[in-house]
Amino acid sequence: MDKRDDIVAGASGVFETSGFRGVGVDAVLVPSGASTRTLYKHFGSRDGLVLAVLEERHRRFMQKLVEIDPADPVGDLFDKLQQWLDDHGAHGCMLLRARSEYADTNPEIVALVRRQKNEFERDIARRVALSLGGESTSLTVQIWLLFEGATAAASISGSSVVSEARQAASVLVAIAREQVQ
């Protein structure tokens, strides 16, 4: 791993547990042992580092979604969420937290999160289409809401809520299949 990757990995952990704007640059750099000068060399600014962390987080999550269980594409999404939370902890969605913290101060971060969430929603639409044999915008939004809700609720109630969201998604898929037939 190069220094840039070290900084991103270390900062990701700090941002995950401490938030973005409430933690100083020195604390963000402790895990990587990098200097402020090195941060600016690689990212241009603290916000540049935040963008890099969000891009890497999203890339890693979307990479986890590449393989889909053809028997249950929507259920597989929630299984992958459970795995993610087991691996990374249940702190809520880092992307949405960043969007909230930077909503009034950094339109570039807000726009990045919007693009990332749009990409994720397209993945859900693909899974819905595989489950139903055709598109359903309504079901896609419903599954997205369940997923985001489970991610947020897990930070409060623990990751066991993901299985409840998975079950609700299965019911919605079954109802949608009946309506298609």
Q: Could you tell me if 138 and 92 lie in one domain?
A: yes
> Is residue 48 predicted with pLDDT exceeding 90?
yes
- pLDDT tens digits for range 51-89: 999 999 999 999 999 999 999 999 999 999 999 999 999
d(C-alpha 28, C-alpha 20), whole Å: 9
Query: Backbone phi, then psi, for 19, in 5-degree steps?
Result: 85, -175
Q: Could you tell me if 33 and 81 lie in one domain?
A: no
Q: Could you tell me if 37 and 115 lie in one domain?
A: no
Q: Could you tell me if 46 and 88 lie in one domain?
A: no
Q: Could you tell me if 140 and 180 lie in one domain?
A: yes
1 and 9 in contact (C-beta within 8 Å)? yes
pLDDT band at 180 (very low <50, low <70, confident <90, very high): confident
Name the E strands within the chain. Answer: none
> What CATH number has the domain bearing residue 20?
1.10.10.60
Q: Select from 93, 97, 91, 92 the least CA-distant residue to 110.
A: 97
Q: Could you tell me if 84 and 160 lie in one domain?
A: yes
Q: Could you tell me if 133 and 84 lie in one domain?
A: yes
Joined together, the tokens standing for residue 144 give 């997205």
Q: Could you tell me if 19 and 71 lie in one domain?
A: no
Q: What is the pTM of this model?
A: 0.93
Q: Could you tell me if 30 and 71 lie in one domain?
A: no
Q: Could you tell me if 109 and 149 lie in one domain?
A: yes
The whole domain housing 69 covers: 65-181
d(C-alpha 150, C-alpha 90), whole Å: 10
Report the domain count for the chain.
Answer: 2
> Is residue 1 predicted with pLDDT exceeding 80?
no
- pLDDT tens digits for range 131-154: 999 999 999 999 999 999 999 999
Q: In terms of residues, how long is the chain?
A: 181
Q: Is the CA virtual torsion 10, 83, 157, 131 positive or negative?
A: positive
Q: Could you tell me if 7 and 38 lie in one domain?
A: yes
Distances (CA, A) of 33 to 6, 85, 131, 170: 9, 27, 47, 46
Kindly give, in sequence order, each residue whose CB lies less than 8 Å from that of residue 164, ignoring residues fewer than 6 positions away: 150
Identity of the amino acid at 46 = R
Q: Could you tell me if 88 and 134 lie in one domain?
A: yes
